[in-house]
Amino acid sequence: MAIIMRIIQRFQTGKKIEFMKLEKQFAELEYQGILLKGERMTPLASREPGNTLIWQCRFRNLAEAEEALRFIENSADHTRLYEQQKQYMEDTWVEFYEVLDY
């Protein structure tokens, strides 16, 4: 059963430039193969407000998604950037979705 893991981050509206500047550094680490590559989205029309960033990635199963989350949590590179970025965050959470293959 395929899984989509989403990390949702709501940032301070007045700090979008600062937040996204750091987010670009996360993307660069992904491009270099240091962090897991995902896709990023911001809402245009959504339940979530415009000051939300969604990072998501697809996995073969829940165990693989949970392993990736542990890797992110234990990554020194991720932690270094997160420590800078968290000052601009209002809230953050993780969601897991089962992909329905009908």
Q: Is the pLDDT of residue 97 over 90?
A: yes
Asked if the model's pLDDT at residue 90 lies above 90, the reply is yes
Domain boundaries, the chain: 3-97
According to CATH, the topology of domain 3-97 is: Alpha-Beta Plaits (3.30.70)
Q: DSSP character for 33? A: T
pTM: 0.90
pLDDT by residue (tens digit) across 19-77? Answer: 999 999 999 999 999 999 999 999 999 999 999 999 999 999 999 999 999 999 999 99
